[in-house]
Amino acid sequence: MNFRKYFEIGNGSVPIVLSCAHGGYKKPKIIPNKLKGIVIPDRNTYFIAKAIIQGLKAKNVKIYYILSKIHRSKIDFNRPPRAVVAFNQSSKLANNIHEAYHDIIKKFTQKCVSLYNRCLIIDFHGFTKPNNEYPDIIFGNIFGNALQINNNFKEKNSNDYWGLSHLSREFFKYFTLDTGLGITDFNLAYSGGYIIHQFYRKNKINATQLEVAKYIRLNNELSNRFINAFVSAIINCIKK
């Protein structure tokens, strides 16, 4: 089956994998609606992810990526396949599409580890701040358990994780953050979903869920700041 009509997929030349699971807009009638669960997409994440990919290509950097084109009312790729909130369990097609999304992520990560001996997975999402005390951006890495690679290999207990430190450093120039490394009043609900849990304590892999506030995603100026910061972080991340 050709899944290209359901996903936007690209191979990379650096060990970075970008996933965008909740930004899809297509509602094929052949896929039945979910019976339960959140049906609202993470607005603009799909288009911001595409802008990040293009921004990196302009710098001659190609990352691996998979972006869902399917609306969240049809399939939620960040939920386990046996859950009724993932998709309508009567649909074999929905199950196959969900399985394919995760197979592609695994294939990309395995390829990165094989070629580069490391991999950074960024699962891009959005949330709505319930109040101003919440940070603008929340990282979800199962409180550090999905992070195994440090920038300084001699300091294994350091919180200076490869990828996370580069992203947080750039985002902090413009936004408030929660790195997700310790339990806070803000990050319990965003500590990492099904996608990140597939990489719990996986050797040579760093995985983080990236939750970005809605007001940033809906504002062109702020979105561009976020995109430029993301691109700069990745450029710095892959420098030897």
Tell me the pLDDT of the chain averaged across its residues: 95
CATH placement of domain 3-238:
3.40.630.40
Confidence of residue 3 (pLDDT cuts 50, 70, 90): confident
- Conformation bin of residue 234: beta by default, left when phi > 0, alpha when psi is -120 to 50: alpha
Residues 6+ apart with CB under 8 A from 65: 8, 9, 10, 12, 17, 18, 19, 20, 49, 53
End-to-end CA distance of the chain: 39
User: What's the average model confidence in pLDDT over 122-126?
Assistant: 98
Q: Average pLDDT of 140-166?
A: 82
Q: Which of 189, 174, 195, 162 is nearest to 66 (CA)?
A: 195
Q: Answer yes or no: is pLDDT of 154 > 90.
A: no
What is the percent of the chain with per-residue pLDDT over 90, rounded to a whole number? 93
Q: Is the predicted pLDDT of residue 231 greater than 80, yes or no?
A: yes
